[in-house]
Amino acid sequence: MMKNVMMIAKPGVNGRGKMIRFIHTADIHLDAPLVNLSALYEIRQDDYRQTLKRMRDIVWDKQVDFWLIAGDLLEYHGGSLLSAHFLIELFHSVAPIPVLISPGNHDPWMEGSFYQTLDWPSNVHIFTGEWGIIDFPQKSCVIYGWGFTQAHIHDNPLAQFPGKLNEYRHHLMLIHGSVITGEEMDHSPYAPMTVGSLAQTEVNYVALGHIHKAMTFTHPRSGKIFAAYPGSPEGLSSKETGERHVILGTLDEKNELTLETIPVHSRQIRKVTITLAGLESIDQMMSHVEEVLRHEDKENLLYVTIEGERTAHLAVPISLMQSRFKEFFFIRFQDDTYPDIDQEQIKRSGGVWNKWLTQMEKLEEQCSDDREKQVLLLAKKEVLKRIGGALR
């Protein structure tokens, strides 16, 4: 493993200035718990290993200059020695192509971690909590990197960035953290950065990790893309749907950046929505669901939501559906339907149901916030569902 030291460029070292190519990935989360998959856990772990092998093949086939991994490669808590040795062998297989890793909040550079306790191949560099600068004079390229040293870091690591080495033509940065855009986030930001602070580093490309959704960021002055999250290469939760990719990046002689996404996933996570309006029997319902799912790949992971209005006397048989479609690798059904009851008739009849519906309508009239309206709509559907269950 290369040492994490500040590498000072020699005067006049500028290499040949040819274009460079790199593969950028992040957030593999090898050995993640995946608590919802139970018996399928080992199969999904093998999926992740196959996805990593697919990346390795791209690295080798494209003969890229660097393989950049922006954190959360594997789990520090719960990660297995077997997986660590798998990674060591995998990275050794692409030597001498450099593999550079910026530890994230799930795989921090800390005492007892596999990053510190195992011998990694000589082509692997793992950044630490101090900014590291690795130069490649023959390519006139410098890679700057920083890594987590614990699970929670709430300061902007760019505040300690030492500055770029101007003697080189190409400048890449590898870092795990949250780019703050003003949009609402699912959790507290870790290692928060702004687009402006990234731009101030004046590097040509920032290889980011931490956010599992693919995103790109444009430079505030040039308006060109200069930073990106590749997203998780294999979906970990029901939120991470569709194709999953790695980024193949190119910086030409003039530092013009080109990014290409390459699918690498072993399986897709898919969300499917089915409505039951107009159906009057269980047989009709099951036939309709079967027709919709006929077009889905049985090797994917499917989250199926049954939603919308349904005939009041027709309950959604979730257990029957799970049993009927067990040929799918993974499938989960959720009932979000509500009965087509006559609300006006319920209100005229008085009683507790009338009070519920009347109160819900009053709240809807008083509400001006779109998000609160959505919450009220869900609440009203739940009320109608309960009324339908009581009247059946």
- What are the pLDDT tens digits along the chain (392 aa)? 333 333 433 333 444 558 999 999 999 999 988 877 878 999 999 999 999 999 999 999 999 999 999 999 999 887 899 999 999 999 999 999 999 999 999 999 999 999 999 999 999 999 999 999 999 999 999 999 999 999 889 899 999 999 999 999 999 999 999 999 866 655 568 899 999 999 999 999 999 999 999 999 999 999 999 999 999 999 999 999 999 999 999 999 999 999 999 999 999 999 999 998 888 899 999 999 999 999 999 999 999 999 988 887 788 899 999 999 999 999 999 998 888 765 566 666 666 666 766 777 777 777 777 777 667 666 666 666 665 555 44
Q: How many CB atoms lie within 10 A of CB 349?
A: 10
pLDDT tens per residue, range 302-361: 999 999 888 877 888 999 999 999 999 999 999 988 887 655 666 666 666 667 667 777
> Residues 281, 284, 289, 294: what is their CA dihedral angle, to the nearest 10 degrees?
160
Q: Which domains does the chain have, with CATH numbers?
A: 20-263 (3.60.21.10), 269-391 (no CATH)
Cα-based distances in Å from 93 to 3, 50, 60, 170:
21, 14, 9, 26
Instruction: Give the pLDDT score at 312.
Output: 75
Q: End-to-end CA distance of the chain, in Å?
A: 68
Instruction: Give the pLDDT score at 10.
Output: 37
Would you mind telling me the total number of residues written for the chain in this entry? 392
Helices (H), the chain: 41-61, 81-92, 114-117, 195-199, 282-293, 318-324, 343-348, 351-366, 370-391
Burial class (CB in 10 A: 0-12, 13-18, 19+), 319: exposed
- Name the one residue in this structure whose structure tokens are 């959704």: 213
Cα-based distances in Å from 109 to 147, 154, 190:
7, 16, 15
323: left (phi over 0), alpha (psi -120 to 50) or beta: alpha
Instruction: Give the pLDDT score at 2.
Output: 37
Provide the token pair at 158: 């760019």
Instruction: Give the pLDDT score at 279.
Output: 87
Spell out a b/e string for 160-199, using b for 16 or more CB atoms within 10 Å of the CB, else e: ebeebbebbbbbbbbbbbbbeeeeeeeeeebbbbbbebbb
Bridge partner list, 275 = 307
Q: Which residues lie below 8 Å from residue 386, measured CB to CB, with a gap of 6+?
A: none
